[in-house]
């Protein structure tokens, strides 16, 4: 009975002052939405940024356990790298499903001749190569599929020095085997690829007379949930006769950068949390201060301190809950909108930002109203009623 009366009191108080309560709810919602948006971004950004950083290229190399053969570095040496069988690719395909891989591309290196010039030749899966190395700049087109036997892409330096352009015919020979190709694109990377000729894996294997063989596999792995070293170890364990090398250049720089970014976003979210909390507190305090006279009147009519306090606390709680709920939802939508416009994809939804922002709304709104209410109830009703 008393509880129902209490509920009615709260309800009446809210209904009579609907304009002001709406302002308060709005203020809480604003704060909560900022908190939930900032936290959602702080949690989701790491994965997105890690994905962006994969544009730096392969961060794991799979090489034969025997290591690049002894002839490594030999001018004119035929066997540049030791071989591994391309049957590994099927096994890697199975293993990769359980790992956070962006992609992987097999490579076969060989030495070839174009007329009287010697040039390094690379066979690969063209589509996978682009996936692993999205930062490359290509003029013209790219080799269309893994079975294109006659298309070739030239490194920009090779093209310049030999005076070849897109569409030009190209004749490559390796130890007397000769094949003709057509230049479909010119690749410029600023790296070794500028000096190389790129073919499909199959065409290169056939031309080099090394059917079923590979020199190395480039792997691009995301560093989101598990460290890259873990992925490296998993790959090594799953593929016999293979050494997996983590590219320290990329992995260490990435870890450092992502750690700093997480710290930055965390600090920003913290800042937003504090500022929003203070804003909510200010609004609630103002709205209670305004009702000092009401409190005096209640006390004059015989209400005890606890009852008045409880009433105001319940009101503040209701405001906090309503504002927190609305704000948390709005904040998540806001974070999604930002993520969509920046990364073109949504960030994953996590419950913690929503809970934190609702919690902030309720706790801060209640606390902020409790302090002025306590002050008001401790004063003689007469003093309060007479005015400030």
Partner 1 sequence: MLPRLLWKSVRGRKSRIVLASGAVAVAATLASALLSVALDIGEKVAKELRAFGANIVVVPKQDALEVEIGGLRYATAAQAAYLAESDLPKLKTIFWGYNIVAFAPFLSAPVEIGDGRALLVGTWFEREVPLPREPRRFTFSTGNVRVVQSEEASFRTGLKAIAPWWSVDGRWVEDAANEAMVGSALANRLGLGRGDRVSLRAGQTTREFQIAGIVRTGGPEEDQIFVDLAAAQAFLGLPGKVDRVQVSALVKPDDALAIRGKRSPQGLPPEEYERWYCSPYIDAITYQIEEAIPGAKAKAVRQVAEAEGAFLGRLTLTMTLVTAVAMAAAGLGVMATMTTTVLERRQEIGLMKAIGAEPRQIARQFLLEAGLCGLLGGLVGAGAGLALARLIATQVFQAPIVPNLVAVPFVMGLALLVTLLGAALPTRQAVRLDPVVTLRGR
- Answer left, alpha or beta for residue 348, where phi above 0 means left and psi between -120 and 50 means alpha: beta
Give whichever of 268 and 367 is closer to partner 1, judged by the CB atom: 268
Q: At 378, is the secondary structure helix, strand, or coil?
A: helix
CA distance 363 to 306: 19
Interaction between residue 40 and partner 1 (CB under 8 A): no
Residue 133: closest CA among 200, 55, 210: 55
State the number of binding residues for partner 1 (CB under 8 A): 93
Burial class (CB in 10 A: 0-12, 13-18, 19+), 228: buried
The yes or no reply on residue 233 touching partner 1 (CB under 8 A) is no
Q: Which stretch binds partner 1 (CB under 8 A): 142-150, 178-186, 200-208, 243-251?
A: 243-251
Binding residue for partner 1, selected from 253, 300, 345, 383, defined by CB under 8 A: 253
User: Among 89, 214, 221, 251, which residue sits at the site for partner 1 (rule: CB under 8 A)?
Assistant: 251
Answer whether 100's CB lies under 8 Å from 221's CB.
Answer: yes
Q: Does 118 bind partner 1 (CB under 8 A)?
A: yes
Binding letters toward partner 1, positions 303-342, x by CB under 8 A:
-------------------------------x---x--xx
Measure the CA–CA gap between 249 and 191, rounded to whole angstroms: 15
Enumerate the H helices of the chain as residue ranges: 2-16, 18-53, 88-96, 126-132, 156-162, 201-208, 228-238, 248-289, 292-300, 305-343, 351-378, 381-386
Q: How far is the CB of 247 from partner 1 (least distance, A)?
A: 4
Q: Which of 96, 246, 357, 366 binds partner 1 (CB under 8 A)?
A: 246
For partner 1, the binding residue among 38, 47, 101, 368 (CB under 8 A) is 38
Q: Does 261 engage in binding with partner 1 (CB under 8 A)? A: yes
Nearer of residues 245 and 304 to partner 1, judged by Cβ: 245
Specify the residue, 341 or 378, whose C-beta has the smaller distance to partner 1.
341
Segment interacting with partner 1, rule: CB under 8 A, options 139-147, 158-166, 200-208, 303-311: 158-166
Q: 235 is written with which tokens?
A: 């790959």
Taking CB under 8 A as the criterion, the residue among 145, 167, 169, 191 binding partner 1 is: 191
Tell me: does residue 137 bind partner 1 (CB under 8 A). Answer: yes
Q: Does 247 bind partner 1 (CB under 8 A)?
A: yes
CB-CB contact of 192 with 136 (8 Å)? no
The DSSP-derived string for 168-194 is -EEEEEETTEEEEEEEEEEEE-SSGGG
Among 142, 286, 333, 363, binds partner 1 (CB under 8 A): 286
Q: Does the footprint of partner 1 cover residue 72 (CB under 8 A)?
A: yes
User: Counting contacts by CB under 8 A, is residue 371 touching partner 1?
Assistant: no
Interaction between residue 192 and partner 1 (CB under 8 A): yes
What CA–CA distance (Å, rounded) separates 222 from 59? 9
Distance CA 372, CA 363 (A): 15
Question: Rounded distance, CA 53 to CA 231, Å?
Answer: 17
Q: Is the dihedral of CA 304, 309, 315, 317 positive or negative?
A: negative
Q: Which listed range, 27-35, 92-100, 173-181, 358-366, lies at the site for partner 1 (CB under 8 A)?
A: 27-35
Of the candidates 237, 252, 345, 383, which one interacts with partner 1 according to CB under 8 A? 252
State the Cα–Cα distance between residues 301 and 303, nearest whole angstrom.
6
Q: How far is the CB of 274 from partner 1 (least distance, A)?
A: 8
């Amino acid at each position: 009975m008393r509880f129902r009366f209490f509920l009615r009191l709260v309800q009446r108080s809210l209904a009579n002052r609907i304009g002001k309560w709406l302002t308060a709810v709005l203020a809480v919602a604003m704060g909560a939405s900022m908190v939930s948006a900032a936290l959602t971004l702080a949690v989701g950004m790491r994965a997105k940024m890690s994905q962006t950083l994969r544009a730096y290229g392969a961060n794991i190399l799979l090489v034969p356990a025997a290591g690049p053969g002894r002839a490594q570095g030999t001018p004119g040496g035929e066997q540049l790298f030791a071989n591994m069988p391309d049957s590994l690719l099927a096994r890697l395909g199975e293993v990769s499903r359980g790992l956070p891989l962006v992609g992987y591309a097999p490579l076969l290196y060989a030495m070839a001749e174009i007329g009287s010039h010697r040039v390094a030749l690379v066979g690969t899966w063209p589509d996978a190569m682009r996936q692993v190395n999205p930062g490359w700049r290509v003029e013209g087109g790219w080799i269309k599929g893994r079975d294109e036997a006659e298309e070739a892409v030239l490194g920009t330096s090779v093209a310049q020095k030999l005076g070849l352009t897109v569409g030009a015919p190209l004749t490559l020979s390796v130890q007397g085997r000769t094949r003709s190709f057509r230049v479909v694109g010119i690749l410029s990377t600023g790296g070794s690829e500028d000096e190389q000729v790129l073919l499909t894996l199959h065409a290169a294997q056939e031309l080099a007379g090394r059917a079923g063989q590979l020199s190395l596999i480039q792997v691009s792995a995301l560093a989101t949930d598990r460290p890259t070293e873990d992925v490296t170890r998993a790959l090594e364990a799953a593929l016999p006769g293979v050494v997996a090398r983590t590219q320290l250049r990329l992995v260490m720089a990435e870890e450092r950068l992502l750690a700093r970014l997480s710290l930055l976003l965390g600090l920003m979210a913290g800042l937003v949390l504090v500022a929003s909390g203070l804003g909510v507190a200010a609004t609630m305090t103002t709205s209670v201060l305004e009702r000092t006279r009401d409190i005096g009147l209640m006390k004059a009519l015989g209400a005890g301190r606890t009852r008045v306090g409880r009433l105001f606390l319940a009101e503040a709680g209701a405001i906090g809950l309503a504002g927190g709920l609305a704000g948390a939802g709005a904040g998540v939508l806001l974070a999604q909108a930002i993520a969509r416009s920046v990364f073109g994809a949504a960030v994953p939804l996590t419950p913690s930002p929503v809970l934190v922002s609702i919690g902030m709304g309720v706790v801060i709104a209640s606390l902020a109203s409790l302090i002025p209410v306590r002050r008001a109830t401790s004063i003689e009703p007469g003093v309060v009623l007479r005015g400030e």
